[in-house]
Amino acid sequence: MSTLLIYNGTVLTMNEQNEVYTPGYLYIKHDQIVEVGPWPVNEEEGRHLLQTERQIDAGGKAIIPGLINGHTHLFQTFLRGVSDDYSLSDWLRQVIWPGSIAMEAEDFYLAALIGCIENLKSGATYIMDHHYVHTYEENTEGVLRAMLETGIRGHLARGGVDLSYEPKLREEEEQIFARTDSLLDRWQGNGSGRIEIAMGPLNLYGCSRPFLERAARFSQDRNLITHIHVAETSDQIENTLARFGLRNLELVEAVGMLGPKTQVVHGIWLDDGELELLAKYHASVIHCPVSNMYLASGVARVPEMLSAGINVALGTDGPGSNNCQDNLEVLKFTACLHKVHHLDSTLLPAMKILEMATRGGAKAMGREQDLGTLESGKKADIVIIDMQKAHIAPVHRVSSALVYNANGNDVHTVLVNGQIVVDQGRCTFVDEEEIIKRAQARVDRLRDQLAKEYPVYGIRE
Ligand SMILES: [Zn+2]
């Protein structure tokens, strides 16, 4: 499809002024937004609009830039809900590690397909997948194929851990860098530029200092994003203090990893000095409130970060600790978590939350110039949300309705790179029912196998 008109809906441009057109329109040519403005336009201005190949009447709907999910682990759709109510370390040891080691390459592909479908159908057009299970080399290919086939904009942070982690998930430093280079050769820019590769050292406590230093140089040499879990739990701070006498972010700086292309995932247990480092180096924080609550990790200092001018993007985190990928649900959790934590209901207004999920995400990805807002010249990554539902209507302020009322089930149409990838709530590129059926059969087999050693996998109530 080369031209598309979306008209008659409420357009939240999310531009610098957060302009809203009630109603408005978007004129899209190939993969780009050409025009955006108030609707209707006069006959003279609109003559070319009537010639578009496809037109979508978005009456009663909201039109927003695609949400950017700054952090997930797609393979965990296969492991979600095995057990709740575990500490982070027990959850890793009894659920995530055994489950991910038992998964085969085909499982990673199917799990990622489901994850991509769920992300698209809940309003995310762009995801950063932190993929760190390399038991089979084909695992990573499976995740990338899922991104390619579903039509989502996918960035894969090639995870790696070399020192202190479940032995079957550790790798030799050489293998991590060789395989990341191989992914860059074969996948960078695939899918008309939708697919990208980042460097993703897993965390600070599992990685050696030489590996972190080399990862920082590797990213700089190739101009990649570096994506890393930092300060997720308080004991992670004790770990780097004991090993190096440095707090988490001080270590990130010391190994040369801190910069504008650095994504600090979680960043919960940071002190004032570390917030100053984030601001000084223009690094981004990826905030995952649902996961932080689910694992009782703590509350990131998001209002203070924003006041300090630090860019904050949002993420679902993996389906193992969420347990879904509903990107609209994350908006409400973000607002409510910080309001109650500070006992201050004036914090984080709805439009600010939407900014983090769109412009903030684009900035974190280094894509401010072509993503994150609905403006002329930007990529057509667009989400249309049905607001005429009993749990949303009647609508006073569309930003509030999107944050506090809408959920993933309200997503009507999704465009990525100008292509309609979700049409009236259904994925257009892949067969959702078929994928779910195949995935359930593989998971049933996986459960039977794991239950012998890990009783939690045998519990079904
Ligand atoms: Zn994570």
On the question of pLDDT at 461 being above 80, the answer is no
Same fold, 3-65+379-427 and 67-364: no
Average pLDDT for 448-460: 89
From ligand 1's centre to the CA of 291, what distance in Å? Answer: 8
CB burial string 285-310: b at 16+ within 10 A, e below: bbbbbbbbbbbebbbbbbbebbeeeb
From ligand 1's centre to the CA of 416, what distance in Å? Answer: 24
From ligand 1's centre to the CA of 258, what distance in Å? Answer: 19
Q: Could you tell me which of 31, 32, 5, 10 has the C-alpha nearest to residue 20? A: 10
From ligand 1's centre to the CA of 120, what distance in Å? Answer: 19
- pLDDT classification of 257: cutoffs 50, 70, 90: very high
Euclidean distance between CA atoms 28 and 43, whole angstroms: 18
From ligand 1's centre to the CA of 217, what distance in Å? Answer: 23
On the question of pLDDT at 188 being above 90, the answer is yes
Q: Are 387 and 41 in contact (CB under 8 A)?
A: no
What's the whole-number average pLDDT of the chain? 96
Q: What is the pLDDT of residue 1?
A: 62
Phi and psi of 159, rounded to 5°? Answer: -75, 160
From ligand 1's centre to the CA of 151, what distance in Å? Answer: 23
Average pLDDT for 343-354: 98
Q: What is the pLDDT of residue 49?
A: 85
From ligand 1's centre to the CA of 286, what distance in Å? Answer: 10
The tens digit of pLDDT for each residue in 10-32 reads: 999 999 999 999 999 999 999 99
From ligand 1's centre to the CA of 75, what distance in Å? Answer: 11
On the question of pLDDT at 39 being above 90, the answer is yes
Q: Which residues contact 329 (CB under 8 A, 6 or more apart)?
A: 122, 290, 407, 408
What Rg value do the Cα atoms of the chain yield, rounded? 21
From ligand 1's centre to the CA of 319, what distance in Å? Answer: 9
On the question of pLDDT at 284 being above 70, the answer is yes
Give me the CATH code for the 67-364 domain, please: 3.20.20.140
From ligand 1's centre to the CA of 417, what distance in Å? Answer: 27
Euclidean distance between CA atoms 219 and 206, whole angstroms: 19
Q: Could you tell me which of 414, 415, 410 has the C-alpha nearest to residue 328? A: 410
Q: Are 107 and 316 in contact (CB under 8 A)?
A: no
On the question of pLDDT at 346 being above 80, the answer is yes
From ligand 1's centre to the CA of 105, what distance in Å? Answer: 20
On the question of pLDDT at 264 being above 70, the answer is yes
Q: Where are the domains of the chain?
A: 3-65+379-427, 67-364
From ligand 1's centre to the CA of 228, what distance in Å? Answer: 9
From ligand 1's centre to the CA of 19, what distance in Å? Answer: 33
Q: Could you tell me which of 244, 169, 233, 232 has the C-alpha nearest to residue 208? A: 244
From ligand 1's centre to the CA of 73, what distance in Å? Answer: 6
The tens digit of pLDDT for each residue in 69-112 reads: 999 999 999 999 888 888 888 888 888 999 999 999 999 999 99
Average pLDDT for 194-198: 98
From ligand 1's centre to the CA of 307, what distance in Å? Answer: 25
- pLDDT classification of 46: cutoffs 50, 70, 90: confident
- What is the pTM for the complete model shown? 0.97
- CATH level 2 (architecture), domain 3-65+379-427: Roll (2.30)
